[in-house]
Structure 1
């Protein structure tokens, strides 16, 4: 096989691969990127591996490639149909939404099961325009990794003009937030002593210039007070 023929062969494989990608996208239905699940990612990962190997392996012919892509497309189609019909299988394979905050309280064990840290949750909430957990009544973590948020009625008409600082997350002091406030650990410990708590007792603590402290301990008790 001369060089020109080899490159034409690779180009043909690339075209076949592109057609395969389009077919898989059509099989998965119209989804926004935010709706893509882990299973969709696996589909794409395997498909990418098949196309890559076929591109650079001269022993793989175009008929071989078409056969593999056809089998993979059929498997995806059948698997999607099975998961649509069976709720139990769908929940096992694709997961289901998880409640992270209920009635204003962080559900520690749900967060732990997802390996989701307080700071990560805070980042996701800020994307939704929420800068304090005191604003939130319910939070659902969707299969796509996005959050569905229901704010407290009492907070909807009283938006904060200043951000809240997360000073304790998962029982640990978040040092850079203290530095931004120009405060130290002694100040933090003094505030906690006022409610009879130590840093290790606290799952989450935030402070805001307007509203003061919003704290939850590992037993689920909430504390809201001014400095």
Structure 2
């Protein structure tokens, strides 16, 4: 029984280590998954590896590690949901990159983004240039949200074309 407790503790320790490492080294590469979801997927896929189960490469050892990860992930998500400071600590907060057409240089450096990456993100949202962006935010999941007058104009034009009027 202590062998399985050891596996559980090792799996949880690796899970927490990966979350901390991702938080420390940034999240800009994460685009669709939250930090917790990414760690969860990475660790579940490795639940039967020796790094977490030690010398026990049995099916039971892998299942014990997987159960420990499921439980830890569930608890962490509940804590984040119920306690906003824990969510901010683990996932971070959104970072404003552009405000009223002006790049927020300190925040850009904090997010470890280059101006070229920011320009590419703006273009991906269909906006010609940074000057046309009202607001661009690096979200906690790694996505960049871009709001602009170009978007409002395009949306308005589409509504008029569909006969929905201009409201």
Same fold (TM over 0.5): yes
1:137 equivalenced with 2:134 (yes/no): yes
Tell me which residue corresponds to 1:7. Answer: none
Deviation at 1:68, TM superposition (A): 1.5
* Structure 1 CA distance for aligned equivalents of residues 79 and 131 of structure 2: 41
Equivalent residue for 2:109, pick from 109, 112, 115: 112
- The one of 16, 22, 34 aligned to 1:37: 34
- Within 1, Cα distance between the matches of 2:70 and 2:83? 20
Write 1 or 2 for the structure with the bigger share of strand.
Answer: 1
In the alignment, is residue 90 of structure 1 matched against residue 59 of structure 2?
Answer: no
Separation in structure 1 between the aligned mates of residue 145 and residue 49 of structure 2, nearest angstrom = 37
* Alpha-carbon contact 2:100-2:131 (below 8 Å) kept: no
Q: Distance in 1 between matches of 2:42 and 2:121?
A: 25
- TM-score w.r.t. structure 2 length? 0.64
Partner residue, 1:74: 71
Structure with greater Cα Rg: 1
Q: Secondary structure at the match of 2:127?
A: coil
Q: CA deviation at 1:84?
A: 0.6
- Which secondary structure does the structure 2 equivalent of 1:145 belong to? coil
Q: What are the ranges of 5 or more consecutive residues in structure 1 without an aligned counterpart?
A: 1-32, 158-227
Count matched residues.
123
Query: What TM-score results when the alignment is normalised by the length of structure 1?
Result: 0.48
Q: Relative CO higher for 1 or 2, CA cutoff 8 Å, sep ≥ 6?
A: 2
Of residues 137-146 and 85-94 in structure 1, the stretch that sits farther from structure 2 once superposed is: 137-146
- How is 1:47-196 mapped onto 2 (pairs within 5 angstroms)? 47-53=44-50, 59-152=56-149, 156=153
Q: CA deviation at 1:72?
A: 1.3
Question: In proportion to residue count, which structure has more helix?
Answer: 2
